[in-house]
Amino acid sequence: VKLAYYPGCVAQESGKELDMATRWVAKALGIELVSFPSFSCCGSGFIDEANEVLNVALNARNLAIAEKAGLDLLTICSTCQGMLTLANLRLGDAKVKARVDGALRPLGIEYRGTTKVKHLLQVLTQDIGLEAIRAKVTRPLDGLKVGAFYGCHLLRPADEMQWESAEEPHSFEDLLSVLGASPVYYRGRVMCCGFPIQFVKPATASKIAGHQIDDAKAHGAEAMATPCPLCHISLDAYQNQAAKAVGHALDMPVLHLPQVVGLALGASPDELGLPRHLVSTTAVTDRLRARA
Amino acid sequence: MAEETVTATFDIYRYEPGKDAAPRYDRYVLDLPPHTPVLTALLKVRAEIDPTLTLRYSCRSAICGSCAMQINSKSRLACEAAIGPELARDGRIVVEPMRNQPVLRDLVVDQGPFWDNYGKIQPHLILDPRHPMPEGRENPMTPAEVDRFKETPRCIACAACYSACPAVEADPAFPGPMALAKLYRFVVDPRDRAQQDRLVRIQTEGLWLCLRCHLCTEACPKDVRPSERIRDLKEMAIAAQGATEQGSRHAVAFKENIRDRGQLNEMKLARQTFGPIGLIAQTPQGIRIARKKPELLHAPHAIEGQDEIEKIYEALDDGKTKEDLP
């Protein structure tokens, strides 16, 4: 499997541990990542609110870069996945396409719409396959109870994302089972983390994050895992604020998707950037060490 | 010939505030054909087993919007949800009242706040006295003008979106997806003369608390797609008034931020959104995060082809919205 690697802004900056873990897992599973230093930000939903057509054009440029190299595009962020997928769809509107083409053509950029946008979760569960991953597990996760947290834009709107049921997704839980974890099913797993209003009304954003962490906890989760670095910011980097908003301690380790895969495939916590988290992940790593 | 039936287990939420100490779930087991709507089963329970079971319904044809409830934790119209698929997936059918609204009794919730939020958006045409309705005839619209409503006229005010919304759950200042979808409908109505006022007002009345999580769009039984119309409202509000609120400031600051280098400068975004004074309140948390993630404090390098980003902005960032496209 060879893909145009679109890490997104956060994984190149404050969420660098996600990039580290992605590269480790890709190497272990034989996924070839081709980097393009010309990729721009996907707009993260904010540029879409300020200027929809501009946002589509920025992503048409990103898609055209992968298209020119003849590659499908790999995202590691639910929001990047959503924005790039929506750009592909909105370019189906002739009026939007004409205006975007008008801006891109003078730059010699051609968008034809042949590049598929795939999130790492899809590549792992569909292209690599659960059995191939199972065969590489060297350190099963010891029945650790993990609550998957999908991130809105990977799932919804379901008729546009064209993947799995937005109400009853199961790919992440299937993957967790293969890694030796016990997936926890809870309502909050498909809910919002609050991130989009973290800079608009921080107290409300943190309350929303707190609700989802509480829900995972009430269903027995010992850790959460997310395929979205923006959810990770809300659930991990701002977890102290979420705890304040709901009025009690949360102490919930939150892993990025490739970190949880990497742990089961034998990576060290340092290789996966776990020490960079705000909430300690030693409850997870100590448990694995004790078993080994 | 008698139709094949399945044995269906229902766990139904029962609660009468002021009388019951706590909610409970009553179990009923019925043999029914798999295509039976949940509402039909509930009415059978009420008719044959427990006449005190309380629920709201009217038309039984998915048009009155009365029987929205949670069926196996998902927002559904009870008259539309067949028992077969629910049983196939979950093995039983848990029926609960909608969320985000206080329970009056069993499956009936107090819709007061939902309707209050609807009332606040002034869901009626506001006309300009200088341009009165034409005397003696209706005020017609062209088919193209009607198309601008998109799916919003389909709304049956069932409140499934309100029940599913995490912003409603967390913050009473958010008017909810239905009220905003209805507002959109009046903002794009060519007969309405209050477009500007409506957009200015909603900026301070909760528009920017929408999380764009699309849970409303998923919950809506009529495919009204409120989250997408809320996005449209945000873009129109910025075009009408500029970035005057924290939410619009953040969206515009993000847009400007990406123009600089092609990728996000996290520290600068905080500075742009909160302003120098607001940033002070954010500083302790920023320092706390930067101790583990020092990249937060560094500006990223510009992407290759940054000049292309600049030219795309020059071509397209002209204050026009998608609604203005020829």
Query: Using the beta-carbon criterion (under 8 Å), do B293 and A9 form an inter-chain contact?
Result: no
Asked if B245 contacts B175 with a C-beta cutoff of 8 angstroms, the reply is: no
Max CA pair span of chain A:
61
Amino acid in the structure at residue B106 = D
B170: distance to nearest CA of chain A, Å? 6
Among B227, B231, B300, whose Cβ lies nearest the Cβ of A12?
B300
Whether residues B170 and A238 touch (CB distance < 8 A) is answered with no
Q: Strand ranges (DSSP E) for A132-242?
A: 145-148, 182-184, 223-226
B positions 153-182 inside 8 Å of A (CB): 166-167, 169-171
Q: Please give chain B's pLDDT, 326 residues, in tens.
A: 567 999 999 999 999 999 999 999 999 999 999 999 999 999 999 999 999 999 999 999 999 999 999 999 999 999 999 999 999 999 999 999 999 999 999 999 999 999 999 999 999 999 877 777 777 777 888 999 999 999 999 999 999 999 999 999 999 999 999 999 999 999 999 889 999 999 999 999 999 999 999 999 999 999 999 999 999 999 999 999 999 999 999 999 999 999 999 999 998 999 999 988 989 999 999 999 999 999 998 889 999 999 999 999 999 998 877 777 76
**Does B262 contact A99 at a Cβ distance shorter than 8 Å?**
no
CB of B273 within 8 Å of any CB in chain A? Answer: yes
CB pairs under 8 A between A and B: 200
**What angle (nearest 5°) sits at the alpha carbon of residue A26, between those of residues A22 and A29?**
140
- Total-model pTM: 0.96
Contacts 24+ apart (CB under 8 A), A241-248: A241/A202, A241/A206, A241/A209, A241/B285, A242/A194, A242/A206, A242/A207, A242/A209, A242/A210, A242/A213, A243/A210, A244/A206, A245/A203, A245/A206, A245/A207, A245/A209, A245/A210, A246/A207, A246/A210, A246/A211, A246/A214
Query: How close A72 gets to chain B, by Cα (Å)?
Result: 20
A 34-53: CB under 8 A from B: 37-41, 43-53
A213 shares contact with chain B (CB less than 8 Å): no
Contacts of A213 (CB under 8 A, 6+ apart): A188, A224, A235, A239, A242, A250, A252
- Contact assignment for A156 to B169 by CB distance below 8 Å: no
Contacts of B238 in chain A (CB under 8 A): 49-50
In this predicted complex, what is the ipTM?
Answer: 0.96
A101 part of contact set with chain B, CB < 8 Å: no
Smallest Cβ–Cβ distance between A57 and the set B169, B208, B316 belongs to: B316
- Ranges assigned E (strand) in chain A: 2-6, 32-35, 73-75, 117-119, 145-148, 182-184, 223-226, 254-256
> Which residue, chain included where needed, has tokens 């650790």?
A144
B 11-40 residues with CB < 8 A to A: none
